[in-house]
Amino acid sequence: MTTGTAITGHGVWHPDTVLNNDELCVAFNEYARRYNEANPDKEPIKPSSSEFIVKASGIKHRYVQDKTGLLDPERMCPNIPDRPETELSIQAEYSVNAAKVALAKAGKTAEDVDLVVLGASNLQRMYPAISIEVQEALGARGWALDMSLGCSAATGATIIASQAIQSGTATCALVVVPELTTGHMNWRDRDSHFIFGDASVAMVVEKADRAKPGSWEILSTRMLSKWNPTSIRNNLGYLDRCDPTTKDTDSKLFHQQGRRVFKDVVPLASKFIKEHLESHGLAPAQIGRYWLHQANEKLNSLVAEYVLGREATRAESPIILDEYGNTASAGSLIAFSLHSDDLAAGTYGVMCSFGAGYSLGSLMLQRT
């Protein structure tokens, strides 16, 4: 079984600024102290701690676009100035940065590209599509589209790219995933202020018979969605100004029920992956690597353990969230891009995302 398409290049980019847990907690705790002092009649905000963050999530630090604003106890939000409409927008810039690495690895130039699919959990505007701006900035041909699917936007974009090649509507597709996630976080929320980081990743997808050795053939793809209105959500949208009573509430930022996500996603994702393996007649131990969505280290360990029937090693299921934090839909693609070059020809690998919706996406890959 094969889609006849392959990932022929991939690359990761992240901003230079590192934000570690200690400095994040100092700022949060100062914000909490000021809030509690100013609101003696309200429920006090408890302090956050680096120990908790590492123990609960596995995240040690993350890369961020800006930390001056989010470490300012009076502001608690990154400072990211709006750009003039004639300048490259920031998510397009994130995309272009990763795209250049992926194209170089694929041995392609932008003129070879005739489709850009941009997937991200947050899109900075409604229209014109950011992917079209990326297409123009790179000098690519053909057509482009943006897609939104929470933390499965990147696997979803790769699947769409593969399908476009299969159907003949494109010959060389570029997937770009500009996850500037720090803009959607509630830095005043103790339960989630440590979760996300900024990064982008890109992939080149072509027909497998044109792929050079060392590429990753996409044998098959799967997607699944299951509605859950409250577990992971962000209500920000174009209708916000129409209801001034909710316009600036916390519901317009990322919020989740972390424990609920754990309970729902571990069985859902492990079953989803197992069924994908079964459709190929492959046993879990025949997979050389599992590049899983990177939201929480314990969650990944449990999903891998449910699939394998034993604990997975770091080599079998690499973790990048200790360094990058949760990079939303980019996570499993970043894990793939950083941890796939060492595998031998013929090795099977599974890339799988799970996120808001719920939404899941997986790709069964084999090294050429």
Binding site for ligand COA (CB under 6 A): 48-49, 52, 56-57, 151, 190-191, 232, 256, 258-259, 261-262, 295-296, 299, 326, 328, 355
Residue with tokens 């699939």: 307
CB of 49 to ligand COA, least distance (A): 5
> Is the Cβ of residue 191 or residue 311 nearer to ligand COA in the bound state?
191
With CA atoms as reference, report the closest residue to 297 among 64, 53, 121.
53
SS3 for 22?
helix
Strand partners, 143: 115
Q: Which is nearer to ligand COA, 187 or 216 (CB)?
A: 187
Q: Which is nearer to ligand COA, 48 or 317 (CB)?
A: 48
- Compute how many other C-beta atoms are within 10 angstroms of the C-beta atom of residue 338: 17
| Three-state DSSP class for residue 215 | coil
Q: Say how many CA atoms lie within 13 Å of 189 toward its Cβ.
A: 18
Residues in the chain: 368
CB of 295 to ligand COA, least distance (A): 3
Tokens representing residue 51 in the block: 């120990």
CB of 98 to ligand COA, least distance (A): 20
Q: Report the nearest approach of ligand COA to the CB of residue 215 (Å).
A: 29
Closest approach, Cβ 177 to ligand COA, in A, equals 14
151 in active site: yes
Cα–Cα distance for residue pair 186/202, rounded to 1 Å: 27
**Of residues 179 and 206, the one with the C-beta less far from ligand COA:** 179
* 248 within 8 A of 235, measured Cβ to Cβ: no
Q: Which is nearer to ligand COA, 54 or 137 (CB)?
A: 54
**CA 109 vs CA 105, 113, 174, 248, 295: distances in Å:** 10, 7, 11, 44, 33
Contact indicator for 294, 322 with CB cutoff of 8 Å: no
Whose Cβ is closer to ligand COA: residue 241's or residue 259's? Answer: 259
**Element (H or E) spanning 96, and its range?**
helix 90-106
CB of 47 to ligand COA, least distance (A): 7
User: Whose CB is nearest to ligand COA?
Assistant: 258
Taking the C-alpha atoms of residue 198 and residue 62, their distance in angstroms, rounded to an integer, is 7
Candidate list 151, 172, 242, 352, residue with the active-site label: 151
Q: At what angle do helices 50-57 and 21-38 cross, to 10 degrees?
A: 120
Give me the residues paired with residue 7 across strands: 205, 216
Q: Which residues are catalytic?
A: 151
